[in-house]
Structure 1
Amino acid sequence: MGSQAKDPNELTVLVTGFGPFREGYPINPSWEIAKGLPEHLPPLRAKDPSSRQATDLPPVRILVHPEPIHVGYKAVRGVVPTFWDGSLGHKIDFAIHIGMAGPQPVYKVERRGHRTGYKSPDVDGEKLIDEEDGRHGEDWIWHGLPDEIETDLDLENVLERWQGHSSKDMDLRVSEDAGHFLCDFIYYSSLATLLKEDRPRNVAFFHVPANASDKYITQGRDLAINLIRAIAESQTARKTTWWGCGNHIAAVMDAVPVADRCTCEPKVEREGKQYPPMAKQPA
């Protein structure tokens, strides 16, 4: 039997987690959550109430980084470009970096990363000296970039979908402060890489509780899957569809690249070509 051809509409999400954090956290829950994710986003169960309102999705490949990210500034700065340059063998449609927060049972998606303000040393005892590098002008890696960079993901829409797919007793939030440590640093590094290349900043940071018990790892993994689904739905729903075009569908849609069209089913056929179905409301 030959292998199945890849669906041309398949989305690929990159997921990363961090390695040990000093002596107090020899097991980092972010990596335990990431490494146990399935290779593909599982389908919703028919009995799941959220499945009735879910957006039709193409297949979603979950690409977990092959190793945990070292909790060090130099290591992060060196590895982040490989997330986006094709080194991992896949075109990445969006990424989720997972990191550990405090002990509170709260799960947060961060809106922005920060360029400066990193005062604490990493696990190697090294501090970030970017404030000094910033005085070197154009030689600085982040020269000319804003102090804060926000994700391009529609986090309000993502949060609503994420909550809809998750247990009602889960405390899920959008956060405005990623903490000015390695979590914030890897997030800004990813956002900055995409901004410098004028690419969509389809990346999120997922903060999980600092608890590596089996209960919290399983819970965090389920919420990570739900977050991946929420982002994929949000991104798919934002793609171009049409409203009330009738026989003029082709005139409207032919100018839109296939990659930017809604992937919803069933397709509408006009003159031998297939187009997304009519939107339920004007997009």
Structure 2
Amino acid sequence: MGSVEESPEEFTVLVTGFAPFKSEYPVNPSWEIASRLPEYLPRKDSSSSTLPRVRIVVYPEPVRVNYQTVRKLIPTLWGPNDPKINPPPGDTDAGRSFVPPAKIDLLLHIGMAGPRLHYALERVGRRDGYNLRDVDDQLLGDTAADRADPNWVWYGVPAALESDLDLDDVLQRWRAHSTDRDGVNHDLRISVDAGRYLCDFIYTSSLAHLWKQGARRRVAFLHVPAAATPERVAVGQGLVVELVRSLVETEWAARQQAGTDNKTDAKESAAAHVPADGADTVTGKWYRD
């Protein structure tokens, strides 16, 4: 896949999925789901007519479950026109030749979360604690000394970062859309523990990249169940379509409200959010140490 033709009237959502990394899970459903997403978000009903046309751009290969691959990839996704950034570190010709959209309104990372059956939006990304080896048997290698080094890629980044998207609002919309879709009450949640592995790492990498730029952290991460049968992938694909719809609706509403209020940042304080029913919370904190 080469460059993506864009329209200023389109709302663009970039999506990534991961490659397999465990012998007991030879297929990673995050990529199976991502690779089957439609190019454009289907119109659902008259209420969606207030939204712009939504284009879904999928990074054209599964992301290798490798710390350094992710660390090199994220800047290329968010800054395709920056001459200081090297081409994407793709494993295939499709990945190496991919040119991300010049304008990314939202980025959705998808990853697998073991044998659990629920789908979880992650609220928090964490900078430290990556002590598990990646698929190439490599550790991340960041040390306490790095945090004092101005050349460290995450220098100055807080220990925990949260998306600027109103995930509580997203969850409410997602549940409603998903039930409307097939009449099933799927187990959809918000989590505050992304796992300190590559899923957490790619989410934090995107959050940190935008934080360092002083940009709105318009990124989400979704954990999906490990089951990769055709039936489960089809269910996941449908749920992700409705998640994209919900993310866009929430962000679009925030933009409209920001325009009405003449503000540049429509995000409310995290402390002011009232968690949706079923969201995972920690008493007195929105993240765990």
Task: Return the offset for 1:7.
Answer: 4.8
8 A Cα contact 1:133 1:140, kept in partner: no
1:81 matched to 2:75? The reply is: yes
Instruction: Name the residue aligned to 2:153.
Output: 141
Instruction: Name the residue aligned to 1:189.
Output: 205
Count of residues in correspondence between the two structures = 239
Instruction: Name the residue aligned to 1:15.
Output: 15
1:103 matched to 2:115? The reply is: yes
Instruction: Name the residue aligned to 1:42.
Output: 42
Aligned AA (2:194): A
8 A Cα contact 1:154 1:234, kept in partner: yes
Q: Which moved more, 1:25-34 or 1:137-146?
A: 137-146
Aligned AA (2:256): T
Aligned AA (1:56): T
Task: Return the offset for 1:30.
Answer: 0.3
8 A Cα contact 2:43 2:49, kept in partner: no
Instruction: Name the residue aligned to 2:173.
Output: 161
What is the CA RMSD across the aligned residues, in angstroms? 2.3
Task: Return the offset for 1:32.
Answer: 0.2
What is the CA–CA distance in structure 1 between the aligned matches of 2:192 and 2:174, rounded to whole Å?
A: 18
Q: Which ranges of 4 or more aligned residues in structure 1 deviate by more than 4 Å?
A: none
Q: Percent identity between the aligned chains?
A: 48
> For structure 1, which runs of at least 5 residues remain unmatched after alignment?
243-251, 261-283
Q: Which moved more, 1:122-131 or 1:18-27?
A: 18-27
Cα 1:9–1:100, aligned 2, differ >3 Å: closer, same or farther?
same
Instruction: Name the residue aligned to 2:226.
Output: 210
1:62 matched to 2:78? The reply is: no
What is the CA–CA distance in structure 1 between the aligned matches of 2:29 and 2:116, rounded to whole Å?
A: 13
Task: Please report the TM-score for the alignment, with normalisation by the length of structure 1.
Answer: 0.79
**CA offsets 1:81-139 (integer angstroms, 9 cap, x no match):** 11101341331101100000021210000011000101110000001111255255212
Cα 1:170–1:123, aligned 2, differ >3 Å: closer, same or farther?
same
Cα 1:135–1:215, aligned 2, differ >3 Å: closer, same or farther?
same
Cα 1:241–1:134, aligned 2, differ >3 Å: closer, same or farther?
closer
Instruction: Name the residue aligned to 2:88.
Output: none
Aligned AA (2:156): G
What is the CA–CA distance in structure 1 between the aligned matches of 2:57 and 2:203, rounded to whole Å?
A: 18
Q: Which moved more, 1:84-93 or 1:106-115?
A: 84-93
Cα 1:200–1:227, aligned 2, differ >3 Å: closer, same or farther?
same
1:224 matched to 2:236? The reply is: no
Task: Return the offset for 1:237.
Answer: 1.0
Task: Please report the TM-score for the alignment, with normalisation by the length of structure 2.
Answer: 0.77
Aligned AA (1:92): I
Aligned AA (1:142): W
**CA offsets 1:45-68 (integer angstroms, 9 cap, x no match):** x5xxxx66x572110000000111
Task: Return the offset for 1:234.
Answer: 0.5
Instruction: Name the residue aligned to 2:275.
Output: none
